[in-house]
Amino acid sequence: MYPGTYAAEAPQTVAALLADTGEVLTYGELEERSARLAHVLYDAGLRKGDTVALLTENNLRAFEVYWAALRSGLYITAVNHNLAPAEVAYIVNDSGATALIASHGKAELAAGVVEDGVGAKSRFAFDGPVEGFESYEDALAAVSAEPFAEQPHGAPMLYSSGTTGRPKGVRLPLPPVQVDQIGDPVVGLAGQHFGFGRGTVYLSPAPLYHAAPLRWCGAVHAYGGTVIMLRKFDAEGALKAIAEHGVTHAQFVPTMFVRMLQLPDEVRSAYDVSTLRLAIHAAAPCPVEVKQKMLDWWGPILVEYYAGTEGNGMTMIDAKTWLTKPGSVGRFVLGTPHVCADDGIELPSGKVGTVFVEREQVPFTYHNDPEKTRESQHPQHETWTTLGDIGYLDEDGFLFLTDRKSFTIISGGVNIYPQEIENVLALHPAIHDVAVIGVPDPEMGESVKAFVQPAVGVSPDEALGEEIIAFVKSKIAGFKAPRSVQFVDDLPRTETGKLVKGELKKKYATS
């Protein structure tokens, strides 16, 4: 279950296609180039358990680097290419990477990383020259394409977004198997629950330096399917890619759904999406109204899961079940859930607390940060770990997420969850984007404030702010409604659509 399996049988099968340009990577090419790169990395001194860092935009070469690492027992650290050189250098150095591979498209950034004292002594650049890097293509041409006899399974080691302090690497144990065996539970779940196979055509619209795009694209390759990759998400571009390439499976985050729903009806209806068998979504709980509108549009093909880079657990829920449990992210298919109070006591069904997941052993560590690793563990059960989310389990074991613990607003001693308010406003016709945070309040400790990016053509004014507050009060309890609304030109989001509330709070505190 790796590219070599399919290269031997059907080398011309398309492993990946870049929708923006039409560039194609076949299984034969993926197998040969990843095998050659494995030799290059071995000759550079990398051995099982070492790390190779990757700095690139969404580029087909990324899959060659990924599979070279996975067939060499290496960790691969894909780095956010939107960071500053010093930030990239920190991640590369903290990961302990002894090799750094970069794209010509990120030449200026990559050269700046070298100037900032990156520790990786072996450096290769593809698609063109980068100062301080050797030619990737020349290096591959100089070595054998014969796979090593032993190909121990590697793993990703990706870094958190760093919205609060320095990003931390999530280090998973290396699977005790060879690359042609299932080493990542996600791969097994993809076959079991999502039906990945040789006929799969999978749309990946998100940046590969995030865990879900990288690992799920790898899962598609493990089953012999085809990845259709976008340089970056564009609402109409995603619909166009589905129609043009006969996409059968795709993965989105709720913000992407919102952007597609905001397209004019004539644009949405112009693209045939009938080939879609499964629309997978994750990364944040989907507002009920948003999901219902997507089901009305695409039919009962949505499947939601909840998981994290840490790989400590995973839930899943299909559309039919969700309609009976609206708002749930499903039952656990990996790990056993426990919802606990702040003192660690397990809570009964229906009670909100911190979500822990039990596994036979601790499934991850935060690299070079034992304190953060310990903070993620339950005070009495170290094999119960949390991602910092809060929520509750209903009587049937379905998980409902309330928010991130760090985002909870405590106003007058009462917990208020911003996500609930954001969900209410997600599809308000006057709103393009919205974020809710707690701001200092001399009387209440914190008060609820909404930051709103108006929809195109909407003029923000005091009356609209009052209308928004009244709208929230008409949908949920009045004490949860924003005390104030501030209109902004845009909101800080990652390329996958996640709100970076740390940046918003920082900006508000200094404004």
Q: What is the DSSP string of 429-479?
A: TTEEEEEEEEEEETTTEEEEEEEEEEPTTPPP-HHHHHHHHHHHHHHS-GG
Q: Which residue has the higher pLDDT, 40 or 362?
A: 40
Q: Are residues 359 and 495 in the same domain?
A: no
Q: What is the structure's pLDDT at 502?
A: 77
Contact 253, 246 (CB under 8 A): no
High-pLDDT (> 70) share of the chain, %: 98
Q: Is the pLDDT of residue 490 over 60?
A: yes
Q: What is the structure's pLDDT at 488?
A: 93
Q: How many residues does the chain have?
A: 511
Does 54 reside within a domain? Answer: yes
Contact 372, 159 (CB under 8 A): no
Q: The pTM is what?
A: 0.86
The CATH number for 416's domain is 3.30.300.30
- The SS3 call for residue 347 is coil
Q: Are residues 296 and 343 in the same domain?
A: no
DSSP state letter for 159:
B
Alpha carbon 43 to its chain's center: 32
Residues 460-467, mean pLDDT to the nearest whole number: 94
Q: What is the structure's pLDDT at 509?
A: 52
Residues 64-68, mean pLDDT to the nearest whole number: 98
CA distances from 330 to 303, 319, 400, 461 (A): 10, 10, 8, 40
On the CB side of 141, CA atoms within 13 Å amount to: 6
Q: Is the pLDDT of residue 162 over 50?
A: no
What's the structural domain count of the chain? 4
Q: Is the pLDDT of residue 511 over 70?
A: no
Q: Average per-residue pLDDT in the chain?
A: 92
Q: Are residues 71 and 161 in the same domain?
A: yes
- Centre a 10 Å sphere on the Cβ of residue 347 and count the other Cβ atoms it contains: 15
- The SS3 call for residue 41 is helix
Last residue of a domain, one of 407, 439, 466: 407
Does 21 reside within a domain? Answer: no
Contact 210, 232 (CB under 8 A): no
How far from each other are the two terminal CA atoms of the chain, in whole angstroms? Answer: 53
- pLDDT tens, position by position, 177-209: 999 998 888 788 888 889 999 999 999 999 999
Q: Are residues 226 and 303 in the same domain?
A: yes
- pLDDT tens, position by position, 91-113: 999 999 999 999 999 999 999 99
Q: What is the structure's pLDDT at 363?
A: 86
Last residue of a domain, one of 366, 389, 407: 407
Q: What is the structure's pLDDT at 462?
A: 93
Q: Are residues 144 and 272 in the same domain?
A: no
Q: For the ranges 16-20, 30-34, 164-168, 388-392, which has the lowest average pLDDT?
A: 164-168
DSSP state letter for 132:
T
Q: What is the structure's pLDDT at 432?
A: 94
Q: Which two tokens stand for residue 385?
A: 């770990």
Q: Are residues 484 and 465 in the same domain?
A: yes
The CATH number for 262's domain is 3.40.50.12780
Contacts for 340-348 with beta carbons within 8 Å, 24 or more apart? 340/378, 344/378, 344/379, 344/380, 347/392
Q: Is the pLDDT of residue 246 over 90?
A: yes
Does 23 reside within a domain? Answer: no
Q: Which residue has the higher pLDDT, 444 or 341?
A: 341
Q: Are residues 425 and 490 in the same domain?
A: yes
Q: Which two tokens stand for residue 94?
A: 């903290």
Q: What is the structure's pLDDT at 161?
A: 60
With cut-offs at 50, 70 and 90, classify the pLDDT of residue 1. confident
Q: Are residues 160 and 215 in the same domain?
A: no
CA distances from 260 to 58, 154, 236, 317, 452 (A): 21, 36, 7, 22, 19
Q: Are residues 172 and 188 in the same domain?
A: no
Residues 290-317, mean pLDDT to the nearest whole number: 95
Q: Are residues 359 and 389 in the same domain?
A: yes
Angle at 448 between CA 447 and CA 453, to 5 degrees: 140
- pLDDT tens, position by position, 281-298: 998 778 899 999 999 999
- Neighbouring-strand partners of residue 401: 391
With cut-offs at 50, 70 and 90, classify the pLDDT of residue 165. low
Question: Amino acid letter at 105?
Answer: G
- Name the residue among 497, 427, 500 with its Cα closest to residue 468: 427
Q: What is the structure's pLDDT at 508?
A: 67
- Neighbouring-strand partners of residue 183: none
Q: Enumerate helices (H) and strands (E) in the chain, giving the number of each.
A: 17, 26
- 284: domain range? 184-331
Residues 455-476, mean pLDDT to the nearest whole number: 93
| Distance, CA of 220 to CA of 439 (rounded, Å) | 44
Q: Are residues 302 and 341 in the same domain?
A: no
Residues 50-74, mean pLDDT to the nearest whole number: 98
Please name the helix (run of DSSP H) or strand (run of DSSP E) that holds residue 237, with its range, or none: helix 235-245
